Amino acid sequence: MDLSMRQVRRLGASALEGLDATLLAITLLLTALGLVALYSASHDAPARMSGQLANLAVAFAAMWAVSRVPPELLMRAALPIYLVGFLLLVGVALYGETVNGARRWLHVGVTRFQPSEMMKLALPLMLAWFFARNEGALRLRDFAFGAVLVLVPVLLIARQPDLGTSVLVAAAGGYVLYFAGISWRVMAAVGLLGAASLVPLWGLLHEYQRKRVLTLLDPSQDPLGAGYHTIQSTIAVGSGGVFGKGWLQGTQAHLEFIPERHTDFIFAVYSEEFGLVGNCVLLLLYAMLIGRGLVIAAQAVSFFSRMMAGAVTLIFFTYAFVNMGMVSGILPVVGVPLPFVSYGGTALVTLFLAIGILMSLRRQRRLVPG
């Protein structure tokens, strides 16, 4: 062995170099908590644990790789990535594979691929690049164009239909617009216009579509159908109480009352077993993650970095809030996973890539003196 202890240490240090320690620690804690919950949710399918560990390895590698890419390179890649993503979405609309009534997948070689997932990061990247190009001279026209860049992929995704992803993508785009400095007045106007357009839109809907929307808003109207998820997950959360039923002791989860309990509804499993205390820990970790992200944004040196860091950070927030909101019954059920906790490779890779981007942006600040 000619590798001395020092060399190993130096190698390790260079590998970790540029990984924001705070961000990394929070992410790892969340991931660990996720594995604990997943273990309980996977009592019937132990293979899921090793599957998730493999996903994590891939996601971690992706994070590490992106964290060493300088933001300038990210900027340069923004337009091509966006265009590729857009073309893939069009491809899905034309040639996509339909699974469970939704056309979301594209066959690439041996594996299937969800282009909409890629838009979660490609869109904010594109917008941040676009606004950064016109830094200091942003006019309403630019924001309008930005809005078009947002709306086109969002509508394509919503048509698949994939409400969850379209919400996330739209939010990601919206955050960039917000951090780019779109005026409050325009935001208020758009908001009012949107609210006002709901009324005539409602009249255009078919009866069955209206019913579907109403069920989305009030699940108790369809307790055995669409409302079943929410009702059962609410019972799981509520029955957890302050301290929870204990790890692996959740009856709702273990007796299979909770559907999709290892993916979108894993929070119900966690909450039933760890109670209010566990929920507070989870909320705190997310708050710390978001806090750290916002600090990175606030301290970022370039306009691009600021927008990108802010938007990416708020994506984490959107994931966490929408997921916990729907599991606890205050938001309609849309397919949004709990970040770093839910089972699933695609979401993990996206999330860790986002962490990687934050780290890259953070590194840029340290590399640029002053």
Residues that bind other proteins (CB under 8 A): 136, 178-179, 181, 232, 234-242, 251-252, 255-257, 271-272, 275-276, 279-280, 283, 286-287, 290-291, 294, 297-298, 303, 306, 310, 314, 317, 321, 324-325, 328-330
Q: How far is CA 108 from CA 105, 157, 208, 360, in A?
A: 9, 19, 35, 29
Strands 102-108 and 97-99: antiparallel
| Secondary structure element (H or E) that encloses residue 102, with its range | strand 102-108
Q: Hey, what are 290's tokens?
A: 């978001």
CB of 215 to other proteins, least distance (A): 17
Q: Which 3 state secondary structure label does DSSP give 312?
A: helix
Q: Tell me which residue of 75, 168, 11 sits closest to 360, measured CA to CA.
A: 75
Residue 216 or 290 having the CB closest to other proteins:
290
Q: Which 3 state secondary structure label does DSSP give 3?
A: coil
Residue 80 or 238 having the CB closest to other proteins:
238
Residue 146 or 310 having the CB closest to other proteins:
310
CB of 255 to other proteins, least distance (A): 4
CB of 63 to other proteins, least distance (A): 22
Residue 82 or 267 having the CB closest to other proteins:
267
CB of 240 to other proteins, least distance (A): 6
Residue 60 or 265 having the CB closest to other proteins:
265
Residue 87's identity, in one-letter code, is L
CB of 179 to other proteins, least distance (A): 6
Residue 130 or 286 having the CB closest to other proteins:
286
Burial zone of 307 (CB within 10 Å; 0-12 exposed, 13-18 middle, 19+ buried): buried
Q: How many residues does the chain have?
A: 370
CB of 323 to other proteins, least distance (A): 10
Burial zone of 274 (CB within 10 Å; 0-12 exposed, 13-18 middle, 19+ buried): buried
CB of 277 to other proteins, least distance (A): 9
Q: Which 3 state secondary structure label does DSSP give 8?
A: helix
Residue 35 or 276 having the CB closest to other proteins:
276
Q: Are 18 and 363 in contact (CB under 8 A)?
A: yes
Token pair 């990535």 is at which residue? 81
Q: Phi and psi for 106 in degrees, rounded to 5?
A: -125, 135
